[in-house]
Structure 1
Amino acid sequence: MTTISHVRGCQPSTMLDYATALRASNSTFTDQVRRMDRAVDATMDKWQGEAAAAASARSLSESLVASHIDTAVTAVAEAHASHGAVLDSIRTALLAIVDLEAPGVGMSVSDDGTVTAPSVPLAGDIVVSMLLQHRLDAQVDALQVRIKALLVQFGEGEMQAAQAIRAAQQQLDSTGSPGAATISPVVSDIISGTTSLPSDPAQLHELWSTLSPADKDALFAHDNYIGNRDGLPVVDRDHYNRIKLDDELARAEACDPSVSDRLVDLQAVRDTIDKDPNRMLMLLDTQSGAQTHAAVAVGNPDTADHVSITTPGLNTTVGGAIGAMTDEGEQMKLTAEKQLDDTVDHVGETVSTIAWIGYDAPQLDKDDYFSEESLKGAIQVAQPWNAQAAAPDLSQFYEGIAASNYDGDPHLTAVGHSYGSFTTGLALQETPEGIVDDVMVYGSPGLGTGHDFVDSSLDKLNIAPGHAYEMTAHDDPVAHMNRFGWSPGYMSEFTHLDTDATTTADGVARQGATGHSEYSRSGDNGELRTSGYNTAVVVAGLADVPGQLVIGDSAVKTGGMDLLDGLMDLTR
C-alpha cells in the first residue's frame, strides 16, 4: 500500500528535469547526424560508381540506426515527462490536503491516510456538542476518501510509469542489437508500392504498433510527411514532423523556390514549438494547400484524459496565428486542469489542447478590402467550398486522436470559431458517433445543418443531447448571419453560455468578450475571459457539475438587445 511518507519522499518533478535534459542532449545528437547526412549528400553529387553506391547504402544504414536511437531516446524522455507530470500533480494535491487543509481544521492524518478529528468535549449543551462531533466526523470521512483515492492513484501511476519507462528503455537497448535496422517485409511492400499504409486511423495505429523503429524510419525516408498521418502515436508524429520542419526551414532560408514563400510560416511553427518542451507538432504541410497547414498540441493528446481541437476562421494563417492560438490553448489547458484539481473525483486528470490550422481559411486584406485577395476571400467566406474541402481532413484528425490515445476513448471536444465553426460542423457530420463527445462553437455563422424550423442539429452533428454549447457575444454580427444553416445561438438544442464579465465559480473576476474576436483571448488581468472559462469547463468535461458553467441567453435575445442599443444610439 502506498503511504503518505512514500509520496512525500518521491520527487516526480525530477523526472521532468531529466526529460528536458535528455531531449536537449538528443537534439545535439540529431543535429550532428543531419550534418553528416548533408555532407554525404554533397559528396554523392560528385561521386559515382559501385564504391559510391556502397558508401551511400552504408550511409543510409547508419542514418536509420541513428534515427532509431533518436526515436528511442525521445520515447524514454516522453515516458519520464508524461508520467512525471501526472505523479507530480497527484503529489501536490495530496500534500495540500495533508499539510494544509486537514491541519487547518484541526485534524490529523496518519501515514496510511486515516484521518482523525479532535473530540468535542461533552460540556454545556450536550446536543450541540454531539452535532459538532457529527459534523467533524463527516468532514473526516470526506477528507479520508480524497486522501486514500490520491494514494491509490499515486501507486497506480508509479506502476504505469515504471512499465512505460521499462518499455522505452528496452526499445533503446535494442538499438545496437543485430538486425536492428532490418526492414520488415510489410514495410518493404509498402515502399515498393505493392501495398500501402491503411487510411483508416484505427487500422494505421494497429499496424504502426507492430513496426520496429527501423521500419518507421524507413517509412519516413519513403514519405517525409509520414508524421501527418492520423492514427500515429503523437510522439512519433512530433518526432518526424520536427525533422521535416528542420529540413524545410533550412531549404526556405536557402531560398529553395519550392518552400521559400513559406519561410514566415515555418519560422512561426519553429518559434511556437520551441517556446515550451510540452508542445508537439502534429501537422506540417507546405505542399497540399494554397496556404501552409499546421497543428500544434500543448501536452500529449495520447496520454491526456481530455483533448480539445480548435479550428479557427477568417484571416487565419499559420504564420500569423499558430503562436497565439497555441498560447491560448496553453492558458485553456491550465485553467481546465485547475478546475479538475478543484473537483472531487477529477483530481490529477490531464488536458491537451490542439490548435488546428489544417485548411485554407478564407483571407481578407484588412488594409484594402477591394484588392484581388480580399475579393477572393469575400467570395470564399460567403461560400462553403473551403470548409467542405477541409471537413474530411478535420474529421479524420478527430478519429486519429481517438485511435492513438492510450485510453482509447478520451473525452474529446471539438471547438470552432467563426468560419472554423462551420468547418467543424461539416467535419462532425462525417465523424462517427462516439468519437467527439462535446462541441463548443462561438461567433458562428452556422454549422451546415440547414434552416429547418424543428431542431435536428445534434442528430446531424453526431453529438449527444446536452453536449452542444455555443456563445454569442454582444456586437458580433457574424453570430447572427445564419449563413450556413441556423447560427447555433438560434438553436434550442445548444446550451447558450454567457460572455459578459463576471466572477466565475473558481472565484476569479473575468472580463467579458464583445465583438467577433475576443472569445478565446485573455483579459487584461491575464486570466481567460468568461467565454474562455466556459470553454475550459466544457473541455475539462465538467459542464454537468452544477454552477461551473456561466449560462447565457440565446442569440435571439442577445441580438435583439444589440439591435435595440444600436437604434437608441441613432436617436440620441
Structure 2
Amino acid sequence: MATLQDQLADIRRLEGWEGSAAHAARQSFDPVDDDLIKGAAAVGAVHAQVGETIADLTKLQASISDAKHLASTNGFTIQFNGNVVDLCDLDDKANASEAELLQHERVGDQLRQMVSDIVSKGNEIEAEASRVLWAANSGDVGVDGLKDVEGAVNAGALFALEPAASPEQVNEWWNGLGTDQQNWIATHRPDWVRNRDGIPTDVRNETNRTFLDTERTRLQDQLTREQQSHPNPNQPPYGVPAQLLQRQIAVLDKLDKTLEQKDTYLIGLDTTGESLKTIVSVGNPDEADNVAVTIPGMGSQIDAGGTIEGMVREGSLMQSEVMTQLDAAGRGHETVATVAWLGYDTPPGLAAAGSDSRAVGAAPALSQYLGSIDATSSGATDPNLTLVGHSYGSLTAGLALQDGASSVVDDYVAYGSPGFYAMDEADLGMQQGHVYVMQAPDDPIRVIAETPWYGGDPADGSFTQLSTAPGTTPDGVYREGSSGHSEYPRPFTVDDQEWLRVSGYNTAAVIAGLPESAVRK
C-alpha cells in the first residue's frame, strides 16, 4: 500500500503533464488515496487484533486445562455446556468424612467459578474481536487525521486496543507491536502513550520529557504574543492572561529543574487544567523489587512545582534509607523506586477538603496506575508495592484500595489522615497487619478525623499504630520526631546531613518489607 501511494504521488508530480486529462487524473487519485488510508487502517487494526486474540485464546486454553485437571482429580466433570457435574455417588459420600465432604463441596464451588470466569472471558474476547472486524469491514477504523499509509496502519493498531483497556491489556498491546511501530508512535503520536497506564516507564518518561520541552516553548511563545498585545500589565485588561502564563511556565521550570536529578522519571504530565498534574519517580518502578507510591494532600497544587521538588527530595532520601535497611537485612541486591503521584486535583483549602468528591474522582485513576506497576514490571515476580497517603491523600489512597487496588498493594501507610472510610484492614480489602497509621500528638487533623468526616479517626482503628516520637531507632540512629501536620516525610539536618525522622524511618521499614523493624507507638 505504501508503494502504491508513493507511485500515485510520483504521477502527480510528473513534469510536463498538463491539460484536462492531467487535471482529471489527479482529481481521480484523491478517492484512491482515501481508500488506501482507510484500507491501511483496517489492515493495521485486524493485524493487531488477530495477535491479541491469539494471545487471549492461548491464556484461555490454559485456564480451561486447569479447570479440567481440577475436575478430573476431584471427582467432577465439566460438560460441553459448562455445567459442572459431580461424579461421586452416594456410597462415596457415605464413606467420606465431614472434612472430606466439605473440601469436595469447596472444589465444586471453585470449579463453577472457574467455568463462569472462562465463559465471561470468552465472551469478552469474542465481543472485542467482533468490534474490530466489523469496523474494519465497514471502513470505520479511525485514522486520527493521518494521510500516510504507515501512520494509518499504526492508527489502526491503536483502534484495536479496547478503549477501556486495563493496564495489563495496554502492556500486551504495546509488546505486540513491532519495534518500528513503537518508535513511530513514540515519535509521531506520543499522546497515544505518554500518560497511558500499562506503557513501560522508559517510554512514558522519554515522551513526557519531550512534551515538557514542547509545552514550555508553546507557553513562552504565547506569553510573548500576550505581552506584545498588552505591554502594560497595570492597564486594562491588566495582563491577567500573561500572569497566568508566567505561573504555568514557572511550574514547568521547577519541574524541569527537579528532573535534572539523577535517576528521575517523568511518568505522567497533564497541563490541561488550571493546575499541573504529574507523576515523578526516583528509580524506575518497572525494574524495582520494592516500589512506594506516595499521594500528597490538600494544597499540593498551589505550588505544584515546589511540591514535586520536595517529594522527589524526600523520595531520594526514602530510597536511600530503604536500601540501607535492605542491606542490613541481607537483601542488599534488591532495588527500590519511590513514586510521587500528584495525578489528581487536590483540594486548595479546608473548604474543598471538607468534601470527598476530589478523592472519589481520583481513586479510579490511582487504582489503575497502581495496577500498571505490576503490568509493566520486568522482574521475575511482582514488586513489593507500598501505598503511602498523607492528609487528604490518605483518603484518596484508601478509596483506591476499596476500588480494587488492594489486589496489587502489599502494604498501606497513612499519616496525618482525616480518615478513609475504614477502621480495619477488611474495610480496605487488605490483609490483617498490613495497614499502618501514624499521627503526631499535636497534628490538628485529629479535630477533623474525630468529627468524623470520613468514617472515623484511623488512629482509633485496629490498624498497626507506629510512633512519631523522637528517639533512637533500631539502627542505632537518633532521630527527631514529627510535630504538626506536615513534618512526617520531611527530613531533619545534622551537620549538613539530612536524615529521615522516626516517621520516615518507619515508612522505609514498611516499604522494605521489614515492618518488624518499625517503631510501634
Cα distance, 1:550–1:215 mapped onto 2, change above 3 Å: same
Task: State TM-score, norm by structure 2.
Answer: 0.63
> Structure 1 residue 291: deviation in Å?
1.5
> Structure 1 residue 266: deviation in Å?
1.2
> Structure 1 residue 185: deviation in Å?
8.0
Report whether the alignment pairs 1:343 with 2:329: yes
> Structure 1 residue 392: deviation in Å?
0.9
Report whether the alignment pairs 1:292 with 2:276: yes
2:156 matched to which residue of 1?
189
8 Å contact from structure 1 (residues 442, 479) kept in 2: no
> Structure 1 residue 252: deviation in Å?
1.8
8 Å contact from structure 1 (residues 284, 293) kept in 2: yes
8 Å contact from structure 2 (residues 370, 405) kept in 1: no
Alignment of 1:526-565 (within 5 A): 526-543=498-515, 545=516, 548-552=517-521
2:478 matched to which residue of 1?
509
1:109-148 deviations in Å (ceiling 9; x for gaps): xxxxxxxxxxxxxxxxxxxxxxxxxxxxxxxxxxxxxxxx
1:242 matched to which residue of 2?
209
2:461 aligned partner, one-letter code = M
1:436 matched to which residue of 2?
409
> Structure 1 residue 183: deviation in Å?
4.6
Alignment of 1:283-432 (within 5 A): 283-287=268-272, 289-317=273-301, 318-344=304-330, 346-363=331-348, 377-407=349-379, 408-432=381-405
Distance in 1, Cα, partners of 2:520 & 2:402 = 26
Distance in 1, Cα, partners of 2:216 & 2:470 = 43
Distance in 2, Cα, partners of 1:186 & 1:433 = 38
Distance in 2, Cα, partners of 1:225 & 1:432 = 24
Distance in 2, Cα, partners of 1:342 & 1:194 = 48
> Structure 1 residue 293: deviation in Å?
0.4
2:297 aligned partner, one-letter code = G
| 2:193 counterpart (201, 206, 226) | 226
> Structure 1 residue 486: deviation in Å?
1.5
Distance in 2, Cα, partners of 1:182 & 1:540 = 50
1:77-121 deviations in Å (ceiling 9; x for gaps): xxxxxxxxxxxxxxxxxxxxxxxxxxxxxxxxxxxxxxxxxxxxx
Report whether the alignment pairs 1:266 with 2:235: no
Distance in 2, Cα, partners of 1:290 & 1:459 = 37
> Structure 1 residue 264: deviation in Å?
2.0
Provide the aligned C-alpha RMSD in A: 2.4
> Structure 1 residue 429: deviation in Å?
0.7
Distance in 2, Cα, partners of 1:331 & 1:50 = 62
8 Å contact from structure 1 (residues 190, 197) kept in 2: no
Distance in 2, Cα, partners of 1:232 & 1:397 = 11
2:425 matched to which residue of 1?
458
Alignment of 1:45-60 (within 5 A): none
1:298 aligned partner, one-letter code = V
Bigger radius of gyration among the two:
2
> Structure 1 residue 379: deviation in Å?
2.5
> Structure 1 residue 458: deviation in Å?
1.7
2:489 matched to which residue of 1?
520
1:528 aligned partner, one-letter code = L
Distance in 1, Cα, partners of 2:160 & 2:280 = 33
Distance in 2, Cα, partners of 1:275 & 1:306 = 20
Alignment of 1:73-222 (within 5 A): 183=150, 187-190=154-157, 196=162, 199-220=165-186, 221-222=188-189
Task: Give the SS at the match of 2:487.
Answer: coil
Task: Give the SS at the match of 2:418.
Answer: coil
| 1:281 counterpart (250, 263, 266) | 266
> Structure 1 residue 463: deviation in Å?
1.1
Task: State TM-score, norm by structure 1.
Answer: 0.58
Report the count of equivalent residues: 348
> Structure 1 residue 433: deviation in Å?
3.9
8 Å contact from structure 1 (residues 394, 427) kept in 2: yes
Cα distance, 1:398–1:195 mapped onto 2, change above 3 Å: closer
5+ residue gaps, structure 1: 1-48, 52-180, 364-376, 450-454, 553-572
2:456 matched to which residue of 1?
486
Cα distance, 1:182–1:462 mapped onto 2, change above 3 Å: farther
Task: Give the SS at the match of 2:155.
Answer: helix
2:465 matched to which residue of 1?
496
2:265 aligned partner, one-letter code = M
> Structure 1 residue 226: deviation in Å?
2.0
8 Å contact from structure 2 (residues 368, 405) kept in 1: no
Distance in 1, Cα, partners of 2:492 & 2:149 = 55
Distance in 2, Cα, partners of 1:225 & 1:255 = 25
Task: Give the SS at the match of 1:470.
Answer: strand
Alignment of 1:10-25 (within 5 A): none
Distance in 1, Cα, partners of 2:457 & 2:306 = 27
1:133-184 deviations in Å (ceiling 9; x for gaps): xxxxxxxxxxxxxxxxxxxxxxxxxxxxxxxxxxxxxxxxxxxxxxxx9959
Cα distance, 1:189–1:443 mapped onto 2, change above 3 Å: same
Distance in 1, Cα, partners of 2:164 & 2:400 = 20
Task: Give the SS at the match of 1:423.
Answer: helix
1:479-519 deviations in Å (ceiling 9; x for gaps): 45222111211101x10000111111111110110110100
> Structure 1 residue 196: deviation in Å?
5.0
1:379-403 deviations in Å (ceiling 9; x for gaps): 2110011111111111111001111
